[in-house]
Structure 1
């Protein structure tokens, strides 16, 4: 059974830059078991009802500004899989989770930036999924749980976000303090995921050190994909951090493998 993943999508520049993190993503694509399809929950697609892409060919969404022109020339020609999309919709319905098909929306940078490095040939069918940061962590986890049977079909379930995501940290002069905050929060997260301590993880806002700064209310959508990915591995309950690096000592580029 193929593991599920949480992958930090970091800066959009990860799609084209040569960095430690970009190199890791390329290596991941070479060493990770090749999936038959990908289901990806993106922090950059929010909706009240769970949306499931049902599309043949994705257009590109360049949902950012102020970056080099080269980045806006990247095209990731991903294909969908309508049969798999309908299977996902049925799994969610069977679990009592309201959902709808989305037949027009393209790929946002929470999806194509990392996939451009991991699977540059864009030759694996992709189903894009929305997230809802207003749900409780338990509800987000339950959505991932509902899709767990897909892993038996070698479908890779990815949560794409960023665990420490606060633009205000870039302006702090004490970089050592910012780094300590980011690393401290990430260490707490890792420790409790390794223990599969759901009681604590679901209460991360009150229990995790620096949680209010690492995950401010306006950035919860970047943190919550972790619960969708974890839920998909509920039966095995095994976590491994396979990468951690920092972007400008503030944002964490973390990758977790579940199952």
Structure 2
């Protein structure tokens, strides 16, 4: 069965940075069976109805950021869409009582293309992008992932792209050390994920230390719950990488 991943996408500049996390991502494909398609949930595509990209040709690259190096704005990720898989996803959602809609026009935002460019730089694997909805319950987020689990048996790679600790107002621009509160939250998270304690995960805001600091808004956390949901049948999780930038910006990758 194809694994699924939660991947932290950090800042848009991640794609041109060189450090242990980018090296990890560049080697991730070598340790993963080549997928026939990639399904990716991006924290930077928010919709109140679950939306599934249905691009039939080549995606345009969305530069949904400002103030970065000119090099970033010249980058493209010309992946093709996979309309048949988009339609299958919509059918799976319908079977599980999840309302969804197709979008044949939107390109790939940096939450999707920056990660994919590091892992699969040739852009030779079809991609289906999916939105997130911060107004659903955490259990509903998990069930969205669970609804798509059978795609893993069809050589489809599912990725949730976000960040477990993602509070840009609290980053340490001096970058000295790792903040204790970020470590405390991520350590709690690791324990609950490895135990597959879904009750704790669904109630992390009330139970986890420093949850308000780590997750001031939920859109970057949601892809982790979705990715975890795709592993509901086997309930096995492995932390493949965790490091930090700017004191507390978590760069982690979970395999389910």
Identify whether the pair has TM-score above 0.5, normalized to the shorter chain. Answer: yes
Give me the whole-angstrom Cα distance separating, in 2, the residues matched to 1:146 and 1:174.
40
Give me the whole-angstrom Cα distance separating, in 1, the residues matched to 2:35 and 2:225.
21
Map Cα deviations across residues 160-190 of structure 1 (whole Å, 9 max, x no partner): 00110111212588955x6211111111101
Give me the whole-angstrom Cα distance separating, in 1, the residues matched to 2:23 and 2:173.
28
Give me the whole-angstrom Cα distance separating, in 1, the residues matched to 2:172 and 2:85.
44
Which residue in 2 is equivalent to 1:3? Answer: 3
Map Cα deviations across residues 68-96 of structure 1 (whole Å, 9 max, x no partner): 00010111101111111100000001111
Give me the whole-angstrom Cα distance separating, in 1, the residues matched to 2:153 and 2:171.
42
Contact 1:6–1:256 (8 Å) recurs in 2: yes
Cα offset, 1:251, TM superposition: 0.4
Structure 1 runs of 4+ off > 4 angstroms?
A: 171-176
Q: Secondary structure at the match of 1:40?
A: strand
Which residue in 2 is equivalent to 1:96? Answer: 97
Cα offset, 1:157, TM superposition: 0.7
Which residue in 1 is equivalent to 2:208? Answer: 208
Cα offset, 1:31, TM superposition: 1.8
Give me the whole-angstrom Cα distance separating, in 2, the residues matched to 1:228 and 1:181.
24
Contact 2:59–2:81 (8 Å) recurs in 1: yes
Q: So what's the TM-score if we normalise by structure 2? A: 0.97
Query: Structure 1 residues 47-56 or 163-172, which shifts more?
Result: 163-172
Q: Gaps (5+ residues) in structure 1?
A: none
Give me the whole-angstrom Cα distance separating, in 1, the residues matched to 2:27 and 2:100.
34
Q: Is 1:192 the counterpart of 2:192 in the alignment?
A: yes
Give me the whole-angstrom Cα distance separating, in 2, the residues matched to 1:35 and 1:207.
37
Give me the whole-angstrom Cα distance separating, in 1, the residues matched to 2:175 and 2:125.
43
Q: Is 1:156 the counterpart of 2:153 in the alignment?
A: no
> Alpha carbons of 1:174 and 1:128: their partners in 2 closer, same or farther (altered >3 Å)?
closer
Q: So what's the TM-score if we normalise by structure 1? A: 0.96
What is the count of residue pairs matched by the alignment? 255
Cα offset, 1:41, TM superposition: 0.4
Which residue in 1 is equivalent to 2:124? Answer: 123
Cα offset, 1:202, TM superposition: 0.4
Map Cα deviations across residues 174-220 of structure 1 (whole Å, 9 max, x no partner): 955x621111111110110000000001000010010010001xx31
After superposition, the CA RMSD in angstroms is 1.4
Map Cα deviations across residues 113-137 of structure 1 (whole Å, 9 max, x no partner): 0100100000111000000011111
Which residue in 2 is equivalent to 1:237? Answer: 235
Give me the whole-angstrom Cα distance separating, in 1, the residues matched to 2:30 and 2:13.
21
